[in-house]
Amino acid sequence: MKRVKPEVPRLLLGVSSLDQPVRTTRDRQLEVASRFKEPESLAVALVKGVAAGAQGVIAPPTLDVREALAELKKDLPLFARVLHTSPAEDLRWEPVFLSDPGEESSASPRNGKRSGRSSRNLLPLSMAGDLASRVLPRMEREVALFNAKAIRGIAVAAVATDLALAANQAKFLERVVRFAHHRHWLVGFETRNLGHLLARLKPWELSPDFVMGPVNPRGVGMMPDAARVLAEIQSSSVKVIASELRAGGLVPIEDGATYARHHGAWGVCAELVDMDDVPKELKGLAPLVAA
């Protein structure tokens, strides 16, 4: 039977803010982390969020997220935020993707069977040439930590996207797109430099299913600047999922979503840290982002 690639969602629920640095106050981040400390409370927020209109959940393969998903009796539509890195990487001297933490322990119970096979079929990372060769086995292993039936696609973390962007490495994005499409997944690239990335995608002649980056009325996190980001969104054929809708807490989430859609974003990603009442606020966003 021919598999149909899913539609790029208009409304996503993001849970990366639970363990990644985000643009918000320290008190707010601690409060949200505390609220979703138990897997059950996170599970409830996720399932209610999807029921309220989120068409997918963007989630890193952390233990907290997987424990929450394991609490649920049904699969939620997942976009795996892959190439997960810890903020504690700054303890290392070496660059973040120099070594693969799973390479030596691919047979550990933490890793799925698929990851073990893929690792054995590839050269050691120390021999791998380009960035894609280094990280694709890791990406596959991280996706395999989720239930395969739940996976709708992948969102490549900004730390990898922006590295390839700065090195002008179109080949990385090209290979990741091929890798994901071969598995019938949607593929998106998260970036902290949306204007720069959209501008590069044109000469690179690449069209991932979506890119995701900050868009909000205060221009917070919009690189190189708000005007350039908006111009690139307008002129690009690539679908943009707007993130950081609340501009670090400066505007209500509805204003952020309305602004992003008005300026050409295909959809929005609402992060847990940006909402007090997840289902209620997602329900409020659903009509704002409808096609």
Instruction: Collapse the DSSP code of 186 into the 3-class scheme (helix H, G, I; strand E, B; otherwise coil) and give the result.
Output: strand
Token pair for 73: 């009796």
Shortest Cβ distance from residue 228 to another protein (Å)? Answer: 9
**Residue/partner pairs of 63-66 with CB below 8 Å, 24 or more apart:** 64/18, 64/19, 64/36, 64/39, 65/15, 65/18, 66/145, 66/146
Strand partners, 82: 156
Q: Which residue's CB is nearer to another protein, number 19 or number 71?
A: 19
Token pair for 213: 């980056």
Shortest Cβ distance from residue 133 to another protein (Å)? Answer: 8
Q: Which residue's CB is nearer to another protein, number 120 or number 124?
A: 124
Q: How many other CB atoms are found less than 10 A from the CB of residue 100?
A: 19
Interface residues with another protein (CB under 8 A) are 19-21, 23, 25-27, 29-30, 33-34, 86-98, 126, 128-131, 133-134, 162-169, 171-172, 192-193, 196, 218, 220-221, 223-225, 247-250
Shortest Cβ distance from residue 245 to another protein (Å)? Answer: 12
Shortest Cβ distance from residue 139 to another protein (Å)? Answer: 16
Token pair for 189: 């690239």
Q: Which residue's CB is nearer to another protein, number 8 or number 173?
A: 173
Token pair for 50: 């999807």
As a whole number of angstroms, the distance between CA 160 and CA 156 comes to 7
- Are 228 and 198 within 8 A, CB to CB? no
Q: Which residue's CB is nearer to another protein, number 141 or number 200?
A: 200
Q: Which residue's CB is nearer to another protein, number 29 or number 119?
A: 29
Shortest Cβ distance from residue 4 to another protein (Å)? Answer: 34
